[in-house]
């Protein structure tokens, strides 16, 4: 994989045409990026060093070593450079996890069968495990009453879920905070003063998912 990333850089990073179409296009200064609700590579491309995996670690991110790439100018070119480096950092994380798994073979799933299904072997040989399996897949999990917000650093930015529970097996209220929606909302501001053809580069470096923003 790293050699292919090197190929992408050889093809694009110093390419005169590529730089003409991305440098100083769609510039967003750091204070505006924060005000517009940017997260992920969009925010880091504007020079703000914010990554939930570092600032609010979850899973095993506090046990792996990686860097947070940040931009300088907040333009399409910087956002491209940030994503290129993030591919390298992701590969670095994966390699560390693979090395850990080689030294610590599974299972890695919890053995609490009230929240995770038992194995098929256990289910077929133990009545209690069969009951756990049946209740988990027919009723789901009864979340205690309360409210919570949790987020992860998705490839496109902060992906969060705000959940309100009344103690039942279905959410009383749920709000998904997807990263692409605020990014697309900034398109008008980012495209001002540019040509229509530049919108292609701007949307490309926003890296939005249209299914995610179809509200």
The domains of the chain, with CATH numbers, are 2-106+143-213 (1.10.645.10), 109-141 (no CATH)
In the predicted structure, residue 42 carries a pLDDT above the cut 90: yes
Cis peptide before 128 (omega within 30 of 0): no
What is the C-alpha to C-alpha distance for residues 188 and 155, in angstroms, rounded to an integer?
23
208 in Cβ contact with 183 (< 8 Å)? yes
In the predicted structure, residue 26 carries a pLDDT above the cut 80: yes
Computed on alpha carbons and rounded to an integer, the radius of gyration of the chain in Å comes to 22
End-to-end CA, the chain: 36
Residue 153 DSSP class: E
Average pLDDT over residues 131-154: 93
In the predicted structure, residue 175 carries a pLDDT above the cut 70: yes
Sheet of 146-154, strands arranged across: 146-154, 157-165, 173-177
Average pLDDT over residues 5-22: 96
What is the C-alpha to C-alpha distance for residues 32 and 185, in angstroms, rounded to an integer?
13
In the predicted structure, residue 147 carries a pLDDT above the cut 90: yes
Quick one: tokens of 189? 């501001």
**Nearest residue to 190 via CA among 33, 21, 20, 31:** 33
Average pLDDT over residues 40-52: 98
1 in Cβ contact with 19 (< 8 Å)? no
How high is the pLDDT of residue 113? 84
């Amino acid at each position: 994989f790293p050699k292919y990333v090197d190929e992408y850089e050889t093809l694009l990073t110093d390419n005169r045409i590529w730089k003409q179409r991305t440098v100083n296009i769609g510039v967003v200064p750091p204070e505006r990026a924060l005000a517009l609700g940017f997260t992920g590579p969009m925010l880091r491309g504007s020079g703000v060093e914010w990554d939930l995996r570092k600032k609010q670690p979850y899973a095993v991110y506090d046990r792996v070593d990686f860097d947070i790439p940040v931009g300088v100018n907040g333009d399409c070119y910087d956002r491209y450079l940030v994503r290129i480096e993030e591919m390298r950092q992701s590969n670095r994380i994966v390699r560390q996890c693979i090395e850990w798994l080689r030294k610590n073979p599974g299972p890695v799933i919890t053995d609490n069968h009230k929240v995770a299904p038992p194995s098929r072997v256990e289910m077929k040989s133990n009545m209690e495990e069969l009951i756990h399996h049946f209740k988990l897949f027919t009723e789901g999990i009864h979340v205690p009453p309360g409210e919570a917000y949790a987020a992860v650093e998705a490839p496109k930015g902060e992906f969060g879920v705000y959940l309100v529970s009344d103690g039942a097996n279905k959410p009383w209220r749920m709000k998904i905070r997807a990263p692409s929606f605020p990014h697309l909302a900034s398109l008008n501001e980012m495209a001002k003063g540019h040509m229509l053809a530049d919108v292609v580069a701007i949307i490309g470096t926003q890296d939005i998912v249209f299914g995610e923003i179809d509200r």
